[in-house]
Structure formats: C-alpha cells, structure tokens
C-alpha cells in the first residue's frame, strides 16, 4: 500500500533534504509545487512551534491530505538566541543568504563564545486536521569565516559538535545523519505511526 505525504515548504533545499532522509517503502512525498495556488502562509508566530503548526494547519486544510511542515532556524547563545525564528530574513527582505551570513559574522565579531544550535520543529497534520509536533536539534559553534559549498543557509558557518567541518563542507548524507532536520524526521515518523494506529 502506498501513502502520500505533502511536504509543506517553499524552500527547495529543505525539500531536497527531506526527500533524501525520508525513504520509507511505499511512501510518496509530494512537493507543494504539485499544487497550483497553494496559499502563502504568513509566519507571524514568535516560536518555531507556532509557525510550524500554522504552516501545517493552513496548508493541510488546503491539500486535504497528510501534511508535514518544517520551521527551523539557528540560535546563537551570544546573541540571546538570534536569529532564531527570524533566521530566513535576518538581514531583511527579500531573503538573502549571503547578507544573513555576513550579518551574523559581523554581530559576533571576534567573540570567542560562539556556541549555537540549529532547531527544526516539524508539525504533522492529518487529513482530519489533528496536529502533532516534534523537534530535532543540532548543537555546534559558529565559525570565524564561511567554508564549504554544500548545503544552504547558514551551513557554511555552522560546525556541529564533534566535527571539524561545517555542514557545508560535508556530503549531504553526513549532514542529514546528524542534523536537526534528520533528527526531527526520525521523531516525525514515530509520531505519524502513533497517529495512524489510532485510526
Ligand atoms: P518554508 O517556510 O516555506 O518551509 P523558509 O525558508 O521560509 O521555508 P523557515 O521560515 O523555517 O523556512 O526559515 C528557515 C531558515 O533557517 C532558512 O531559510 C535558513 O536560513 C535557516 N536554516 C534552517 N535549516 C537550515 C539548515 O539545515 N542549514 C542552514 N540553514 C538553515
């Protein structure tokens, strides 16, 4: 039996990572591009969880099927958790990765306390509108300069604990094995199984 899951993101890098990680037999992942006129969700909540739930509920109501949303970002301790929920638009609109990374390096300057974490909250919405959230985290530090050409977003600046490389210097499989998104997805699969067993 095959089952469809809509991945409710407009971020093609997230979609690519989720496709690489979530390879269960019989599971068909459907991107938002396969729907015309998907509504634009305004991410105006002050937490990853709030925004993930909002995306899953609004896009789940639109698709009518099992729908998974991802709200994620980088928290830097020395910056009191910034950029946090504002990670995508840290340097303003429109989204500009190079400007975000430059702003982060400038904000930290030569500080030596550079601990940080990526967080990913996923919200799974059933066709009936029941929502469950899970979270994955990856602890690390912010490098002094950008390194590596892989990944996306803040990956050239983020060195996960236990590694000498940034996420952007790793092959995708290595990042996905330890990343906030990989960890959130492992929990999302368990949450989905629990919801299905109630039906
Ligand atoms: P959707 O809301 O459509 O899913 P988005 O890019 O707007 O796409 P978010 O609001 O969750 O998604 O913002 C996530 C931002 O956090 C993203 O744009 C990056 O700047 C950063 N980010 C999240 N996960 C990341 C990762 O694995 N590597 C690097 N940066 C990441």
How far away, in angstroms, is 71 Cα from ligand 1 center? 7
Residue 1 predicted with pLDDT over 80: no
Adjacent-strand bridge partners of 131: 125
Strands 158-160 and 131-142: antiparallel
| Active-site annotation holds for 71 | yes
Q: Which atom of ligand 1 is found nearest the CA of 179?
A: 27
Is pTM beyond 0.85? Reply is yes
Supply the pLDDT for residue 2. 74
Give buried/exposed letters for 45-74 (b at 16+ CB in 10 A, else e): eeebbbbbbbbbbbbbebbeebbbbbbbbb
- Residues with CB under 6 Å of ligand 1 are 9-11, 14, 43, 70-74, 87-88, 118, 151-155, 167, 179, 181
Distance from C-alpha of 123 to C-alpha of 125, rounded to nearest angstrom? 6
Domain count, the chain: 1
Distance from C-alpha of 134 to C-alpha of 53, rounded to nearest angstrom? 11
How far away, in angstroms, is 197 Cα from ligand 1 center? 31
Distance from C-alpha of 70 to C-alpha of 61, rounded to nearest angstrom? 16
Domain span including residue 130: 3-196
- The backbone torsions φ and ψ at residue 83, rounded to the nearest 5 degrees and listed phi first, read -75, -15
Catalytic choice (71, 77, 113, 155): 71
How far away, in angstroms, is 190 Cα from ligand 1 center? 23
pLDDT tens readout for residues 36-69? 899 999 999 999 999 999 999 999 999 999 999 9
Residue 190 predicted with pLDDT over 90: yes
Residue 198: pLDDT band (50, 70, 90) is confident
Supply the pLDDT for residue 193. 94
Question: Which CATH number do you get for residue 125?
Answer: 3.90.950.10
């Amino acid at each position: 039996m095959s089952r469809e899951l809509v991945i409710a993101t407009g971020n093609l890098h997230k979609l690519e990572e989720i496709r690489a990680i979530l390879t269960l037999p019989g599971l068909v992942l459907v991107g938002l591009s396969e729907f015309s006129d998907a509504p634009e969700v305004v991410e105006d909540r002050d937490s990853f969880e709030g925004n993930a739930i909002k995306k899953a509920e609004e896009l789940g109501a639109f698709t009518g099927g099992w729908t998974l949303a991802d709200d994620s970002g980088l928290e830097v301790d020395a910056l009191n958790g910034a950029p946090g929920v504002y990670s995508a638009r840290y340097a303003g609109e429109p989204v500009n990765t190079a400007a975000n990374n430059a702003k982060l390096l400038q904000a930290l300057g030569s500080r030596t306390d550079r601990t940080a974490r990526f967080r990913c909250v996923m919200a799974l919405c059933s066709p009936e509108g029941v929502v469950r959230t899970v979270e994955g985290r990856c602890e690390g530090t912010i490098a002094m300069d950008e390194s590596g050409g892989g990944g996306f977003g803040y990956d050239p600046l983020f060195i996960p604990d236990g590694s000498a490389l940034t996420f952007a210097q790793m092959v995708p499989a290595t990042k996905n094995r330890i990343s906030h998104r990989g960890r959130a997805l492992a929990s999302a699969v368990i949450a989905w199984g629990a919801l299905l067993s109630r039906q």
